[in-house]
Amino acid sequence: MKEQLLIKFAEVFGDARDAQVYFAPGRVNLIGEHTDYNGGHVFPCALTIGTYGVARKRQDRALRFYSMNFEELGVLSSSLEDLKPASQAAWTNYPKGVMWAFQEKGMKLPCGLDLLLFGNIPNGSGLSSSASVEVLTGFILKDLFGFSVSNQELALIGQFSENRFNGVNCGIMDQFAIAMGQKNAAIFLDTATLQYEYAPITLDHAKIVIACSNKKRGLGDSKYNERRSQCESALAALQKVVDIASLGELDEDAFEQHKAVIGDAILIKRAKHAVYENRRTLKAVEALKAGDITGFGQLMNGSHVSLRDDYEVTGPELDALVEAAWQVEGVIGSRMTGAGFGGCSVSIVENRAVDSFIAQVGEAYKQKIGYAADFYVVEIGDGPRKL
């Protein structure tokens, strides 16, 4: 892969002298969805698929970008003097946003870059291709220019750039999972405090299978920001009667006792998901620690039902994937993953059932939705690195 990328870099930018090659993973969240901006817990892991980058410092202030995933766009040019979001800048808004964020944090870039990217994460799939690009860019800037930033700080810079530069009000989970990934472990993260622990995922007799719905979605123009503001409204109402800073501080009993104060049936449903999903995530990690993979799978299923009925972010495509998965013998658990409204499902499937899972779910999905889903049997990998 490294040699192929350097050959392509030379083809696009003239030569590959002094070019360095990097990788940042994608991520999948096993449970804990739409809890990260509600002060709750999440349980993501980094994947062995992700984004590759080849970068080289320039002698001037120019920025030149090329993506092997969007070759029809050719080389997109900019400069360090022009770090502002623009629709015609397409995918380069993500690396430019991170460069802008570094400078906002006092880390001035001394010169421009030539940057080539190649991702083997499906675009718009909900496996965080954008956060992967953000963490990758931060890691490249850290390495090429010698900035003293930890991987955890790279995650926060990526989130800051997505919030402030790209206008998506995302939580910390995606960037954190990618920057802090560890092979064969998921990250149990308290998004309110950023305290985390690695929980080993030992799937001796099972695999993680991601099904991509192939329904494209963009976070900024989806209902993501709407759901976030609905939760903020519910929280503001609850804060009149309980002393909490986030919905993640409530358990189920406290929520049921005080929910009437919210006063709006839709807002009650949204807050219920945030509270109950957070408690499901705590229980899921306990189940995993106890070796109860069946219990973990049941909690995944419950998560999907809540995302479908209370948070209403699944849609017909994700429901078709998950409901078909539940019918396959050997499926331990299945749910949508990511922001929703398209994207992917994640399933834990016994080894013996993986082929029949792909065949059955694929057939059911195509019959119901009218086009095919794509399937990826994935492994849990490490965070960003230089190759």
Per-residue pLDDT at 386: 97
Q: Residue 220: pLDDT band by 50, 70, 90 thresholds? A: very low
Plot region of 39 (φ>0 → left; ψ -120 to 50 → alpha; else → beta): left
Whole-angstrom Cα distance, residue 62 to residue 205? 51
- Cβ contacts of 347 within 8 Å, gap of 6 or more: 208, 209, 210, 211, 325, 331, 332, 333, 334, 335, 357
Instruction: Put the strands of the sheet holding 331-337 in their side by side order.
Output: 331-337, 344-350, 206-212, 374-378
Helix (H) or strand (E) holding 306: helix 293-309
The residues annotated with a catalytic role in the active site are: 174
- pLDDT, tens digit, for every residue of 27-50? 999 999 999 899 999 999 999 999
Residue that wins the pLDDT comparison between 222 and 168: 168
**SS3 of the chain: helix, strand, coil, percent, to 5:** 45, 20, 35
**What average pLDDT does this structure show over 343-370?**
96
Query: Tokens 């807002």 correspond to what residue?
Result: 267
Domains of the chain: 2-201 (3.30.230.10)
Residue 266 has pLDDT above 90, yes or no: yes
Residue 8 has pLDDT above 90, yes or no: yes
Per-residue pLDDT at 357: 98
Helix (H) or strand (E) holding 337: strand 331-337
Residue 332 has pLDDT above 60, yes or no: yes
Whole-angstrom Cα distance, residue 235 to residue 231? 6
Q: What CA dihedral angle connects 196, 336, 131 and 201, to 10 degrees? A: 40
Helix (H) or strand (E) holding 349: strand 344-350
- pLDDT, tens digit, for every residue of 140-195? 999 999 999 999 999 999 999 999 999 887 778 899 999 999 998 999 999 889 99
